[in-house]
Each structure stands twice: as C-alpha cells, then as structure tokens.
Amino acid sequence: MARTDIEIAGVEKRYGDHVALAGVTLSIPAGQFVALVGASGSGKTTLLKTLNRLITPDAGGIRIGGGDIAVGAPHLLRRRIGYVFQEVGLFPHLTVGENIAVTPRLLGWAPERVAALTRDLLALVALPAAMASRAPAELSGGQRQRVGVARALAAEPGILLMDEPFGALDPLTRDALGTDVRALHERLGLTTVMVTHDMAEAVLLADRIVVLRDGAVVADGAPEDLVRTVADAGVRDLLDAPRRQALRLAARLGGGQ
C-alpha cells in the first residue's frame, strides 16, 4: 500500500454561530503518528471527520497523497482510510469474522480470499483465529476494540484515524492495545491520527502532539520538545501532567532502583 501524507489547509467548520474549527492548517508526513489532544468540545472529532468526509468543511481544503479529497466519491476515499470509533460499533448480529470482512465483502472479494484476510487480520491484532465465529457480545471490551482495529485495516488503508479508541478500557488493556497499535502503525507503514484525552498515552505513543483549543491549533510538536517550547501556560500544564504524575507516583512508591 502507498504511504500517504495528509495536508490540511485553513479548514473551518461552523455550526450556526458556533465555530467548531477556526482555520486549521497541518501538514502530516506519511508514516507519522499524530496524537490530537484538547479539552472536550475543542474540535478533535470534527477535524478527524473532515479527513474522511464524514464532515464537509465550510472553508479550506484537504489533500491526501497529493489529491484533493473533495474530488471523487466519498466511499472510495473511505476505503483508503481506516476509522476506529470510541464506541467500537460492531454489528451485533454478525460474527467477529463477518464484522472484520464487511468491506472486503462489499468489494466482492472471493470467499477464500476473505477468509484468509480475516485470519491474517485477527493474527495482526493478536486475537485467536477461533474468535472469528464468535458474536461480539461474547468478547471483552479490549477484544472488541481489537476487532474494531482489524476491521479498520481490512481494506489495507494507508491512513488510520482513531477517535479516543481506548477510552473505555481498563488501564492494563489500554496499555497493551496502545503498544500493539503503535507496532501495527510501524509494520504497516501507516499514517495515524489518534484523538485522545490521555496526555500520557499521547506522549508514549505519538511522534507528534497537536493541541486544539476552540477549534484552533495552540501547540504542535514532538512530545519531548513541546513542554519546553510552548509559551501558553495552560497548554504547558496539560503537557507536563504525565511527568508530574510520574514523579508523584515514584515518590509515593519509594522511588525503587
């Protein structure tokens, strides 16, 4: 699959008088893992959804792999972009395997090819092959989210978008899944944009953190640089939260080592 860059230029979105996106410009090189953070209502989901045309901007434009995404059919665009929702949204009446293979089936792939792909994708997200015949309701939250990731990758997209994908999971599951998704990102050469409200997760997984406030980018850079370079005290506080928490934890637990 082709490595895919994303160019967001002056994207604006209003709902009535409310400005959801106030002119966002971002250049995301192919292969980068970006964490999109910011308070609730800052425009994270809106921005993510403009990338696969679930939302149409009022102004500005987006290019993916050099091409204007406003040109052509939305379903062709979405095939190149995997999307993982916070609430996984698996079809309850379909098996895990059928859920993963929804897109390949729509594309008319032969049954043997679909079966092979389903096996590969389950292995990719570290689920046992036997899980293909289970119902989503029989899986844990973490397993369901793994199925959501497998489904998002079924059409071999170059881009993976995730909207608070691990928000509902317990900390250990969250940690394991985050690490696995980062490994998949590397292995598949994806360009990944992940919305998260967990700054520690952003720092640990992403190459770059973009902070939104009131629909505008207020900080943007590598995790290790941002804390030092950001002028805005509020944003600096937010970015520094994981370090402060780690220090408090170490003090409380006696430091070790």
Ligand X SMILES: Nc1ncnc2c1ncn2[C@@H]1O[C@H](COP(=O)(O)OP(=O)(O)O)[C@@H](O)[C@H]1O
Residues that bind ligand X (CB under 6 A): 15, 18, 20, 38, 40-46
Nearer to ligand X, 127 or 211 (CB): 211
Nearer to Mg ion, 102 or 218 (CB): 218
- List the beta strands (DSSP E) in the chain: 6-15, 18-28, 33-37, 59-64, 67-68, 81-84, 159-163, 191-195, 208-213, 216-221
Nearest to 32 by CA among 199, 196, 186: 186
CB of 43 to ligand X, least distance (A): 4
The reply on whether position 45 binds Mg ion by CB under 5 A is yes
17 in Cβ contact with 191 (< 8 Å): no
| Cα–Cα distance for residue pair 10/137, rounded to 1 Å | 42
Near Mg ion by CB under 5 A, which window of 45-53, 56-64, 117-125, 224-232? 45-53
Residue number closest to Mg ion, CB atom? 45
What single DSSP character describes residue 42? S
Near Mg ion by CB under 5 A, which window of 40-48, 137-145, 183-191, 201-209? 40-48
The reply on whether position 196 binds Mg ion by CB under 5 A is no
How many Cβ atoms from other residues are within 10 Å of residue 17's Cβ? 5
Nearer to Mg ion, 4 or 196 (CB): 196
- Which residues lie near Mg ion (CB under 5 A)? 44-45
